Chain A
Amino acid sequence: MMTRVRVLVRPKAGILDPQGQAVERALPALGFAGVANVHVGRLIELDVDDPAQLPEMCRKLLVNPLIEDYEIVDADVAPAR
């Protein structure tokens, strides 16, 4: 049985995030007040046999640890098989 997981990848805190800034500027322009700390990252969804391998997958390929933080979360959807 495979497990469906999501890897949430974020720009590391303190690194200039021009995408986040652009979105943060765009929302008030559309009338949405009270928005702060917008960051744009990446969502990687995958089905895996062995979730224990995920940290190594992240370190080796999915994430560049110099510039990105990540978080592994269980998806709430049962994978189709």
Chain B
Amino acid sequence: MRFGVVRFPGSCDEVDAQLACERVTDATILWHGDRDLQGVDAVVIPGGFSYGDYLRPGAIARFSPVMESVIAFAREGGIVFGICNGFQVLCEAGLLPGALLTNASLRFVCRQVDVVVEDTATAFTNACREGGRGTRLSIPVKHTTGRWYAPPELLDQVESGGQVLLRYAPGQNPNGSLADVAGVRNEAGNVFGLMPHPEHAVDPLTGSVDGLTLFASIRDHVTAHVAA
């Protein structure tokens, strides 16, 4: 099982994402200008400032050549995982519901937060179980544009469809995100985006290894269901 991590001009967390993937399986970097996904089994859209985040974060990157292929891959059921700027790109691409707005504080936030896993029966969270690594994960956030928003009817749809996979723990919402949403999946369950950075929580040296759980979940899901 092999992850592909997209590198845009302006990406800055793609190497951390690659290293996180490599702690659980294989990974390779995918260049933004290439349409060839090199046969990877899952795609990670990493954090950073793709194409300078001009206009709105992710607004330009979502039209890049690699994203044409990622969108087609996602429509065919391929696993796509967006982190921070990757989450913004996937929302702009219409692969995930909602949009990311400037933090309510208008400030860049960088801190460790707890997130609650709302559903452990998904491609992205199946390794989060009580007695295992748990359903409460400690993962850092670092962003200025992380306030997830959806209009009321869309929020109802997302909530009733169980699409919120991660919520900031009570009192820890760092950005004013609606309903404390930290991460959402699409309806089909094969695309997921979150603002916290699991790739920065993979080594005891930096305080938490909870982020590995999400990468391991994807590996286990793909190994069981896709790669065979």
Q: Which residues of A contact B (CB under 8 A)?
A: 12, 15-16, 18-19, 22, 61-62, 64, 66-67
B84 within 8 Å of A (CB atoms):
no
**Is A15 touching B102 in the complex (CB atoms < 8 A)?**
no
Which of chain A's residues has its CB closest to B58's CB? Answer: A64
**Is B102 touching A18 in the complex (CB atoms < 8 A)?**
yes
Interface size on B, residues (CB 8 A): 20
7 residue pairs of the A-B complex, CB under 8 angstroms, read A16-B101, A18-B102, A18-B105, A18-B106, A19-B102, A61-B55, A66-B151
Query: How close is B101's CB to chain A, nearest CB, in angstroms?
Result: 6
**Is A67 touching B176 in the complex (CB atoms < 8 A)?**
no
Q: What A residues does B104 contact at CB under 8 A?
A: 16, 18
**Is B55 touching A67 in the complex (CB atoms < 8 A)?**
no
Which of chain A's residues has its CB closest to B151's CB? Answer: A66
Q: What B residues does A22 contact at CB under 8 A?
A: 106
Complex: how many Å from CA A8 to CA B139?
38
The one of A19, A61, A62, A67 in contact with B149, judged by C-beta atoms closer than 8 angstroms, is A67
B56 within 8 Å of A (CB atoms):
yes
**Is A15 touching B106 in the complex (CB atoms < 8 A)?**
no
Q: What B residues does A62 contact at CB under 8 A?
A: 55
Which of chain A's residues has its CB closest to B60's CB? Answer: A61
Query: How close is A41's CB to chain B, nearest CB, in angstroms?
Result: 12
Q: What A residues does B151 contact at CB under 8 A?
A: 12, 66
**Is B98 touching A66 in the complex (CB atoms < 8 A)?**
yes
B150 within 8 Å of A (CB atoms):
yes
